[in-house]
Amino acid sequence: MDPHTLRDCLSVTGVDSPGKSIAAGPNGQLIFKKSATQLYYCDVHEMSSYTLCMSRMDPLYQDCQIYDLAFCRRGTLLICLQRVLTGEFFICEGTIDCQAFIVEITGDVHRTNVVAAKGKNVVLIRDEAGVVLLSHPIRWQSTGNVIELFHVSNFLSSSVGDKYTISLQSREMFDATFASPFISRNHLYLFYGHDYSRFMLVPLTGPSCGKCELRRTQGSPPADDYMSKTVQCFEEFALIYANQNVRNLRPNFYLLNLT
């Protein structure tokens, strides 16, 4: 692979996908969603790349397409599938075979009971226990604000679990487009669009479950000029990687205190 084809941007040569569906593996692997049915594999150590196809698909899910990706801690690849016609989401597990250029689907395809809906964003994120499929409102509505969570890692390890729905409660209207969700210490964090100085905090357990609060970060947040921001949480801190600046500023890391 030509090292110049892998750039600090949202797109990579060979990837025809409008989203940012990417998974980083423990051994230097990068997996991109190349198309609705193919993946693009990069090994940053060997500087090699391949197009991967899924080995087999249960006929019941032939009408599904790849939606999002994540790696399990044990190294297998989690694939989130979406049935476009109904908006249903499913998850399955796969093993990468670079010799055969396939992702070998292991086990069954599982229904999450999460369904795409207008005004909702669905994404794979992580908490301390593993990968979680999250559905959250893009904007705060006057009524009916809920989040849905399906703990993928726990389900695959125990074959037990279901969608968890939490009604959001607040005395104020949050005039924001929520972005960059992450979970830390049983709380969901949703930033105010491009404004990383503010976030909505949602407790996921206990007597305060679902009671939203507006909080502010401490530190210097990235400028709005950065078009892409990726958040990694470390307990009470958020590390933000900001890139793609219209004024061609260099990519930067920002450390924000969440307490």
pLDDT in tens, 186-244: 999 999 888 899 999 999 999 999 999 999 999 999 887 787 788 888 888 999 988 87
Predicted pLDDT at 227: 77
Q: Are residues 196 and 257 in the same domain?
A: yes
Q: Give CA angle at 226 (247, 257), nearest 5°.
A: 135
Helix-, strand-, coil-residue percentages of the chain, each rounded to 5:
5, 55, 40
1 assigned to some structural domain: no
What is d(CA 203, CA 210) in angstroms, rounded to the nearest whole number?
6
Closest to 212 in 3D by CA, of 181, 182, 171, 178 = 171
Q: Are residues 164 and 209 in the same domain?
A: yes
Q: Are residues 124 and 248 in the same domain?
A: yes
Predicted pLDDT at 171: 80
**End-of-domain residue from the set 96, 116, 136:** 116
Q: Are residues 134 and 230 in the same domain?
A: yes
CA 90 to the chain's CA centroid: 15
Q: Are residues 30 and 130 in the same domain?
A: no
Q: What is the pLDDT along the chain (259 residues), one digit of tens a residue?
A: 444 444 444 444 444 444 557 788 777 778 888 888 899 988 877 788 889 998 877 778 888 999 999 988 778 899 999 999 999 999 999 888 888 999 988 888 999 999 999 999 999 999 999 999 999 999 998 888 999 999 999 998 888 889 999 999 988 778 888 989 999 999 999 998 888 999 999 999 999 999 999 999 999 998 877 877 888 888 889 999 888 777 767 888 999 999 8
**In what helix (H) or strand (E) does residue 189 lie, and over which residues does it extend?**
strand 187-192
Q: Are residues 135 and 64 in the same domain?
A: no
11 assigned to some structural domain: no
Q: Are residues 98 and 122 in the same domain?
A: no
Q: Are residues 34 and 86 in the same domain?
A: yes
3-state secondary structure of 60: helix
68 assigned to some structural domain: yes
In the chain, which ranges are continuous DSSP H helix? 152-158
Predicted pLDDT at 73: 79
3 assigned to some structural domain: no
Q: Are residues 43 and 109 in the same domain?
A: yes
Predicted pLDDT at 248: 67
Domain count, the chain: 2
Q: Which tokens belong to 86? A: 């109904």
CA-based end-to-end distance of the chain: 43
Q: Are residues 88 and 209 in the same domain?
A: no
What pTM was computed for the model? 0.86
Q: Are residues 225 and 133 in the same domain?
A: yes
What is d(CA 42, CA 96) in angstroms, rounded to the nearest whole number?
12
Q: CB 159: neighbour CB atoms within 10 A?
A: 10
14 assigned to some structural domain: no
For tokens 């049915």, what's the residue?
37
4 assigned to some structural domain: no
**In what helix (H) or strand (E) does residue 240 lie, and over which residues does it extend?**
strand 237-245
Residue 89 structural domain: 19-116
If you ran DSSP here, which 8-state letter would residue 84 be given?
T
7 assigned to some structural domain: no
10 assigned to some structural domain: no
Predicted pLDDT at 224: 79
Q: Are residues 124 and 231 in the same domain?
A: yes
